[in-house]
Chains A and B, each alone.
Chain A
């Protein structure tokens, strides 16, 4: 893989990590919260925690690969992409701090 192809990958990977994470959290909530709960709430929390760590790791890879290249370049784009998606992933998972169950 050329240098530039690696940078493009590093821009897109955090996005894919965010998408996978979001779909996982949405699916887990949909499985745990309707009247016919298929999984328990504690399983929900544990799985979300694991998925979140994996997704954040992917973002970290991009941040590291773009480190020190925060100028007008695709390396900078990889760095900021990793950072922005990491914030978004964290926010999506942080909702679980506020609730002890499905709420409402």
Chain B
């Protein structure tokens, strides 16, 4: 690979744009602001949109509590109540909790790590619009009087077309899956941003602990969301196409949905908790004045929670009649997750002890978090006990527990975070006096509402009941809970008031107003469009405390790498994922409408599918495809080197395993593998629970299966050869191998289709799942072929210069992932065919 030194005519240069640093980073004005890709703009949008969903979902909760305030109440009818509690859960879990935390991560991570933006800014914009459009689709169901009413868990068969014939379930399945795209794209984006774009010298051991929390959370999203996405796609195709995935009469199983749902649903709880705990771990040291106690402990605890939280899903299924031995396994794993949680809590307590804590509003919320979350954790341990769970499951005890964990573990830290980081959003401080009122109203209201529910549950009141008869011992408890919920709501209303008030009247925030140690406070908090004029080398986890040169100078005079800009482009520093040493100059895209167009195309596709206007869906799909193609068709930046200051002379967008685009591809392949694994789980599960049906299914043909495996190997092999040729700057060779990759993908597609021809997907659930697996692999083969042809066309049309082989490099990794899926699919088919042959 050759690197060109300052070529006079280089495709990555923006000619004729002689802008200043500020000009290049400026956020577009007016309506064009919507085209902004800056993490500051996108992150704030996630936060504000998420908060709006929080208010809507909170209002729905008040409707629920008002209905339950007296027995036999007729404030809401049964149907409305079911819609209200379904939407409360759905909005809170999918459209508030995860997006708002991702919003904070998107906003804070680059600032804390010393990057000028997230490194896939367009993906951030795309994710936001997917989230917004998906949320609007879900909410719009109210307008069509078709709000989902099957519970946020959408259990089958209640949500199948037999029992929910209207489109309410389609609104849920399609809208939520669409919005989940935002979570998954944000996960890939955050993983890559944390690993690839840190300040010089910020090794993993010097990374602020918040980044560890977000890194692990992002990995959990990448692996945890796919089971639900697959489950939703299977359920939607059962509804639209009548495929029998969950139909017991044809070898399906309603419990398969529950497994897929909770494989997502339990990690989800930790996905919500970890970023919030990360906020606590960031705010707490500021108010204690000492670094977080036990950095190593905390990293170990976060990593182990990330793993173990995937082994708990079946504790939502203790009453479904699983074997006692399975129950005990999940019970054991559920109790063990307490240990890393306990480690974390005690690290927080030890941090409190190591300095002189200041009782500010964020600190109050941290103390509230400690009290509420510890209690919720203890009831969680109770629920991990199988016999107790058989009593408490689906009763108000669980309602109490989950609100203790989620409100205590997430909402309280979040409100603390609002008070803490508000200067970043408005340049002003929120009121400490009103903040105390907000805290105490919320704390008292919360405990009044939910503490009593433990008792209500043990008194036998089940969840999700729109009404209850009087005289069973639930009347007074419910009334007190409802009154508590109004107090909690008053606290939140006061917060909204304070937020609106402080935007005009709040005290102007000075630089680093809380005396924090992390890098996001380096600049005065009236936010410019850019993050850092120069990116300072980092020698400590609390650089603002330990590196006096940072706060002693005016922010824009602080010494660092990459002062100024080159070629009129937005740039930040790419680093080695482990050591944090500067590796390359990372070119970033400028404001663009294309990701929004792609999200809009998908919104048309999904919205029209709900309305059954399938030709409109096709138009939407075409718009999205065109947008994605335009997105990819831009001049490559690699192949040159630039001076980065402080003695670093670095290549631009290096072609390397550690390149941000390659790490992004690896993250994407991880998500795809998790999707594929969910389907493999479905196949093995159905094969195991309905052996009779497995025999009844006709078997794949052997010869095409072997052919598919060979074609899969060819996809991977040609991809790899293309990468090799690209690295050697052999233009014709790289184009040829790209073409061969595409052809092999086509052959693999054909072979898979031929192998499955004898199987009728409508006859058995297993057959349908085998087809679903093939369909998923087919989509990946299609994308591989599309990208390979794309690369070939770019080379043949002279768009590629020497040293610019990142597309070939990345395609090879994706092709290897796809090839692996094809081979694994073929192996499963072959096992089925051989077993059938032997029996």
Are A and B direct contacts in the complex by CB distance below 8 Å? yes
CA separation between A91 and B308, bound complex, in Å? 12
Within 8 A of B (CB), among A31-60: 31, 33-34, 36
Check if B329 is an interface residue, CB within 8 A of chain A. yes
Contact across chains for B204 and A33 when beta carbons are under 8 A apart:
no
Within 8 A of A (CB), among B334-350: 335-337, 339-340, 343
CA separation between A34 and B692, bound complex, in Å? 13
Contact across chains for B333 and A19 when beta carbons are under 8 A apart:
no
Check if B296 is an interface residue, CB within 8 A of chain A. yes
Within 8 A of A (CB), among B290-333: 291, 293-297, 299-301, 303-304, 306-308, 310-311, 323-326, 328-329, 331-333
Contact across chains for B304 and A4 when beta carbons are under 8 A apart:
no
CA separation between A95 and B330, bound complex, in Å? 10
Check if A87 is an interface residue, CB within 8 A of chain B. yes
Contact across chains for A33 and B307 when beta carbons are under 8 A apart:
no
CA separation between A70 and B593, bound complex, in Å? 50
Contact across chains for A4 and B326 when beta carbons are under 8 A apart:
no
Smallest CB–CB gap between A65 and chain B, Å? 13
CA separation between A14 and B304, bound complex, in Å? 9
Contact across chains for B325 and A29 when beta carbons are under 8 A apart:
yes
Contact across chains for B333 and A81 when beta carbons are under 8 A apart:
no
Of A18, A71, A88, which is within 8 A of B296 by CB?
A71
Of B297, B307, B324, B336, which is within 8 A of A76 by CB?
B297
Contact across chains for A4 and B325 when beta carbons are under 8 A apart:
no
Contact across chains for B339 and A33 when beta carbons are under 8 A apart:
no
Q: Please give me the residue from chain A that is nearest to B302 by CB atom.
A: A77
A64 / chain B contacts, CB cutoff of 8 Å: none
Contact across chains for A18 and B328 when beta carbons are under 8 A apart:
no
Contact across chains for A99 and B299 when beta carbons are under 8 A apart:
no
CA separation between A33 and B299, bound complex, in Å? 37
Q: Please give me the residue from chain A that is nearest to B306 by CB atom.
A: A15
Q: Please give me the residue from chain B that is nearest to A4 by CB atom.
A: B578
Given the interface contacts A15-B306, A74-B296, A95-B332, does A87 sit within 8 Å of B339 by beta carbon? yes
Contact across chains for B310 and A19 when beta carbons are under 8 A apart:
yes
CA separation between A73 and B297, bound complex, in Å? 8
Interface size on B, residues (CB 8 A): 39
Contact across chains for B303 and A12 when beta carbons are under 8 A apart:
yes
A25 / chain B contacts, CB cutoff of 8 Å: 329
Smallest CB–CB gap between B658 and chain A, Å? 12
Smallest CB–CB gap between B494 and chain A, Å? 39
Contact with B along A1-23 (1 / 0, CB 8 A): 01011011001101100110010
Q: Please give me the residue from chain B that is nearest to A33 by CB atom.
A: B323
Smallest CB–CB gap between A7 and chain B, Å? 8
Check if B360 is an interface residue, CB within 8 A of chain A. no
Contact across chains for B300 and A80 when beta carbons are under 8 A apart:
yes
Contact across chains for A29 and B329 when beta carbons are under 8 A apart:
yes
In this complex, which of A14, A79, A88, A99 has the most chain B Cβ atoms within 10 angstroms of its Cβ? A88
Of B304, B325, B579, B691, which is within 8 A of A81 by CB?
B304
Interface size on A, residues (CB 8 A): 47
Q: Please give me the residue from chain B that is nearest to A89 by CB atom.
A: B336
B691 / chain A contacts, CB cutoff of 8 Å: 36
Given the interface contacts A8-B578, A74-B204, A76-B296, does A85 sit within 8 Å of B329 by beta carbon? no
Q: Please give me the residue from chain A that is nearest to B310 by CB atom.
A: A19
Contact across chains for A80 and B296 when beta carbons are under 8 A apart:
yes
Smallest CB–CB gap between A84 and chain B, Å? 5
In this complex, which of B329, B340, B691 has the most chain A Cβ atoms within 10 angstroms of its Cβ? B329
Check if B689 is an interface residue, CB within 8 A of chain A. yes
Smallest CB–CB gap between B451 and chain A, Å? 30
CA separation between A78 and B297, bound complex, in Å? 9
Contact across chains for A84 and B295 when beta carbons are under 8 A apart:
no
B308 / chain A contacts, CB cutoff of 8 Å: 18, 88
Contact across chains for B324 and A92 when beta carbons are under 8 A apart:
no
Smallest CB–CB gap between B429 and chain A, Å? 31
A interface: dominant SS: helix
A96 / chain B contacts, CB cutoff of 8 Å: 325
CA separation between A36 and B325, bound complex, in Å? 16
Check if B203 is an interface residue, CB within 8 A of chain A. yes
Contact across chains for A79 and B296 when beta carbons are under 8 A apart:
yes
B204 / chain A contacts, CB cutoff of 8 Å: 4, 8, 74
Contact across chains for B323 and A29 when beta carbons are under 8 A apart:
yes
Contact across chains for A92 and B329 when beta carbons are under 8 A apart:
yes
Of B306, B323, B332, B579, which is within 8 A of A104 by CB?
B323
Of A4, A34, A81, A102, which is within 8 A of B688 by CB?
A34
Contact across chains for B325 and A99 when beta carbons are under 8 A apart:
yes
Check if B269 is an interface residue, CB within 8 A of chain A. no
CA separation between A44 and B300, bound complex, in Å? 31
In this complex, which of B304, B325, B335, B339 has the most chain A Cβ atoms within 10 angstroms of its Cβ? B325
Q: Please give me the residue from chain A that is nearest to B293 by CB atom.
A: A72
Contact across chains for B332 and A94 when beta carbons are under 8 A apart:
yes
B293 / chain A contacts, CB cutoff of 8 Å: 72
A91 / chain B contacts, CB cutoff of 8 Å: 332-333, 335-336
Contact across chains for A4 and B203 when beta carbons are under 8 A apart:
yes
A15 / chain B contacts, CB cutoff of 8 Å: 303-304, 306-307
Check if B526 is an interface residue, CB within 8 A of chain A. no
CA separation between A88 and B343, bound complex, in Å? 14
CA separation between A62 and B579, bound complex, in Å? 20
Check if B55 is an interface residue, CB within 8 A of chain A. no
Given the interface contacts A2-B578, A4-B205, does A11 sit within 8 Å of B336 by beta carbon? no
Within 8 A of A (CB), among B139-179: none
Contact across chains for A99 and B328 when beta carbons are under 8 A apart:
yes
CA separation between A12 and B212, bound complex, in Å? 13
CA separation between A45 and B578, bound complex, in Å? 40
CA separation between A96 and B328, bound complex, in Å? 9
CA separation between A78 and B579, bound complex, in Å? 17
Given the interface contacts A2-B578, A4-B579, does A77 sit within 8 Å of B303 by beta carbon? yes
Of B307, B323, B331, B335, which is within 8 A of A18 by CB?
B307
Smallest CB–CB gap between B304 and chain A, Å? 5
CA separation between A4 and B299, bound complex, in Å? 14
B688 / chain A contacts, CB cutoff of 8 Å: 30-31, 34
Of B306, B323, B335, B337, which is within 8 A of A34 by CB?
B323
CA separation between A30 and B26, bound complex, in Å? 58
Contact across chains for A99 and B324 when beta carbons are under 8 A apart:
yes
Contact across chains for B689 and A2 when beta carbons are under 8 A apart:
no
A67 / chain B contacts, CB cutoff of 8 Å: none
Contact with A along B268-300 (1 / 0, CB 8 A): 000000000000000000000001011111011
B331 / chain A contacts, CB cutoff of 8 Å: 95
Contact across chains for A11 and B303 when beta carbons are under 8 A apart:
yes
Q: Please give me the residue from chain A that is nearest to B295 by CB atom.
A: A72
B301 / chain A contacts, CB cutoff of 8 Å: 80, 84
A84 / chain B contacts, CB cutoff of 8 Å: 300-301, 304, 339-340, 343
Smallest CB–CB gap between B562 and chain A, Å? 24
Smallest CB–CB gap between B831 and chain A, Å? 13
CA separation between A5 and B506, bound complex, in Å? 46
B337 / chain A contacts, CB cutoff of 8 Å: 88
A68 / chain B contacts, CB cutoff of 8 Å: none
A99 / chain B contacts, CB cutoff of 8 Å: 324-325, 328
B326 / chain A contacts, CB cutoff of 8 Å: 26, 29-30, 33
Q: Please give me the residue from chain A that is nearest to B328 by CB atom.
A: A95
Interface residues of B (CB under 8 A from A): 203-205, 291, 293-297, 299-301, 303-304, 306-308, 310-311, 323-326, 328-329, 331-333, 335-337, 339-340, 343, 578-579, 688-689, 691
| 20 contacting pairs across A/B (C-beta < 8 A) | A4-B203, A8-B204, A12-B303, A15-B303, A19-B307, A19-B311, A22-B329, A29-B323, A33-B323, A77-B296, A77-B300, A81-B299, A84-B343, A87-B339, A88-B336, A92-B329, A92-B333, A92-B336, A95-B328, A95-B331
User: Apart from A26-B326, A71-B296, A77-B303, what are 12 other A-B pairs with CB-CB below 8 Å?
Assistant: A2-B579, A15-B306, A19-B311, A33-B323, A76-B294, A78-B300, A81-B300, A88-B308, A91-B336, A92-B336, A95-B329, A103-B325
What 8 pairs across the A-B complex have the smallest Cβ distances? Answer: A76-B296, A103-B324, A80-B300, A104-B324, A77-B299, A33-B323, A15-B307, A95-B328
